[in-house]
């Protein structure tokens, strides 16, 4: 995981532990898992639309949004990006 993703996840975890009244992250966490996955679905569609004709800058922007919302979901469920990395490692380990 890059330093940027690690720092972002640390901020998300901090917001979960120490809510901030005007925080978008806290609004998502307060709304709960159903709203977070709804937002992930919306962002995934936006990634697809960007790939199909909006240019690479838009693809990067939408993938960043999708990544952020996936990180919020991980935090909501008590999981971490390391859990995802471990699964990817397991899948790519020589048999």
| Residue range 58-68, pLDDT digits in tens | 999 999 999 99
CATH code at position 55: 1.10.287.1080
For 33, the domain range is 3-91
The band of 94, judged by pLDDT with boundaries at 50, 70 and 90, is: confident
DSSP the chain: --HHHHHHHHHHHHHHHS--TT-HHHHHHHH-HHHHHHHHHHHHHHHHHHHTTT-HHHHHHHHHHHHHHHHHHHHHTT--HHHHHHHHHHHTS--
Residue 39 is predicted with a pLDDT of 98
| Residue range 17-69, pLDDT digits in tens | 999 999 999 999 999 999 999 999 999 999 999 999 999 999 999 999 999 99
The verdict on pTM exceeding 0.95 is no
Residue 84 is predicted with a pLDDT of 95
| Total domains in the fold of the chain | 1
Closest CA to 66 of 36, 32, 31: 36
């Amino acid at each position: 995981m890059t330093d940027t993703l690690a720092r972002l996840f640390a901020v998300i975890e901090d917001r979960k532990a120490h809510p901030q009244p005007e925080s978008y992250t806290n609004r998502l966490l307060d709304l709960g898992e159903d709203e977070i996955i709804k937002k992930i679905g919306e962002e995934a569609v936006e990634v697809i639309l960007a790939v199909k004709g909006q240019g690479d800058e838009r693809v990067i922007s939408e993938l960043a949004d999708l990544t952020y919302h996936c990180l919020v979901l991980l935090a909501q469920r008590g999981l971490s990006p390391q859990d995802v990395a471990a699964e990817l490692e397991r899948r790519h380990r020589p048999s």
